[in-house]
Amino acid sequence: MDFFPSALENLIDKFAGLPGIGRKTAQRLAFFVISLPDGEAEDFARAISEAKSSVRACSICLNLTDGELCAVCRSERRDASVVCVVSDPKGVLAIERSHEFKGRYHVLHGVISPMNNVGPDDIKIKELISRVADGGIDEVIMATNPDTEGETTARYISRLLRPFEVKVTRLAYGIPVGSSLEFADDATLMRALEGRMEI
Amino acid sequence: MDFFPSALENLIDKFAGLPGIGRKTAQRLAFFVISLPDGEAEDFARAISEAKSSVRACSICLNLTDGELCAVCRSERRDASVVCVVSDPKGVLAIERSHEFKGRYHVLHGVISPMNNVGPDDIKIKELISRVADGGIDEVIMATNPDTEGETTARYISRLLRPFEVKVTRLAYGIPVGSSLEFADDATLMRALEGRMEI
């Protein structure tokens, strides 16, 4: 179907390549973008380039940042002795929204998932262990998603951390089982933090 | 919520500004884009710039094209004496998919919609009238959407075309092929009965 100019077809293809975006939606988005005023379409293109080029992993917690350290690790008010382990940056956002947690994070960038060929070495577990080995951390809160893979990852990590003098806890099941951290409401997340238990 | 680097927040904002894309989806898309290999993210950015800069309106039918004329108007096989009027380029695609129409198009780029402050002068009606006035057109097929606004636009245009020696027709209403009578709404069934044809 080549009734659209090739540059437009190309843009539709790009949108259709995004997760959860079908062909019709991609068309709608591409049409919208080319109908934007010149400056705004350029802004969009530039936003992609800049996000891609400037965003990197925080050298302490591996959360996304545009500097050497992320906002949380940079802050002197945060308690470096408590580390909350999340599977991805959206987890950090979710926990921050609860305004309950004053420690730092560790972003795994994934969970152990044999079905998807993701093993322990494919996510940032080594980096967490070496942070703990370096000392200064009293508690590690496992805040991976409360599903099978998140649970497996949490238990795997807690086993690796046993040799160290560190308390390992898990978010309490205030969060509904089988859902995703990203969609938990603030109050539920707050309860989950309060009720965290040692594993 | 400024826990993400500003370049990433900016990209999320851009995605959230697209029609039908909420904040959570925008986050998901932005994360996906920055997780793409370098080259691919750049390709995406370039696709936007190129689509925006190269796509323009065909000088005859106002369909989108990257040249002076669109593929349909360029083709010598198409019958220039029949013009199918659609509200937007997606209408062209839909009609082309049927492989039934051999004439040319006229893209209105909108429909008359007083609710949205779109009047007859805001869409490409003048251009259609002057095409017809230039001569060489025997039939104008109104193929705007079968809703109130599309219908109003079709009737408005057909009135403007009355002074000219041109047949003005409308796509037939009826039950969609492959559907079930049971699910057809009353208005459609009424139109289907009115438009019944001898077999």
Residue B198 exposed, middle or buried by CB count within 10 Å (0-12, 13-18, 19+): exposed
- Contact (Cβ atoms closer than 8 angstroms) between residue B47 and residue A7: yes
- Which ranges of chain B does DSSP label H, i.e. alpha helix? 6-16, 23-35, 38-54, 71-74, 89-97, 125-133, 148-160, 186-194
Nearest Cβ partner for B19 among A32, A44, A48: A32
Residue A188 exposed, middle or buried by CB count within 10 Å (0-12, 13-18, 19+): middle
Chain A residues with beta carbon closer than 8 angstroms to that of B73: none
Q: What is the pLDDT of residues A93-150, one digit of tens each?
A: 888 888 888 999 999 999 999 898 999 899 999 999 999 999 889 999 999 887 789 8
Report the pLDDT averaged over residues B82-92: 89
pTM: 0.70
Asked if A90 has any chain B CB less than 8 Å from its own CB, the reply is yes
Q: Three-class SS of residue A16? A: helix
Side-chain-side CA neighbours of residue B165 (13 Å): 4
Q: Three-class SS of residue A75? A: coil
- Cβ-based contacts under 8 A for chains A and B: 160
Q: Which residues of B29-43 are buried (b: 16+ CB within 10 A; e: fewer)?
A: bbbbbbebeeeebbb
- Smallest CA-to-CA distance from A3 within B57, B72, B86, B88 is with B72
Angle, nearest 10°, between helix axes B148-160 and B125-133? Answer: 30
Q: Reply yes or no on whether the pLDDT at B3 is more than 70.
A: no
When pLDDT is cut at 50, 70 and 90, the band that residue B1 belongs to is very low
Q: What are the φ/ψ torsions at residue B89 (nearest 5 degrees)?
A: -60, -25
pLDDT of residue B106: 95
Q: What is the pLDDT of residues A142-177, one digit of tens each?
A: 998 877 898 899 999 999 999 998 999 987 766 666
More confident residue, A177 or A14: A14
Q: What distance in Å separates the CA atoms of residue B10 and residue A53, rounded to the nearest whole number? A: 13
pLDDT of residue B77: 92
Report the pLDDT averaged over residues B86-109: 87
Nearest Cβ partner for A28 among B19, B27, B28: B19
Asked if B64 has any chain A CB less than 8 Å from its own CB, the reply is yes
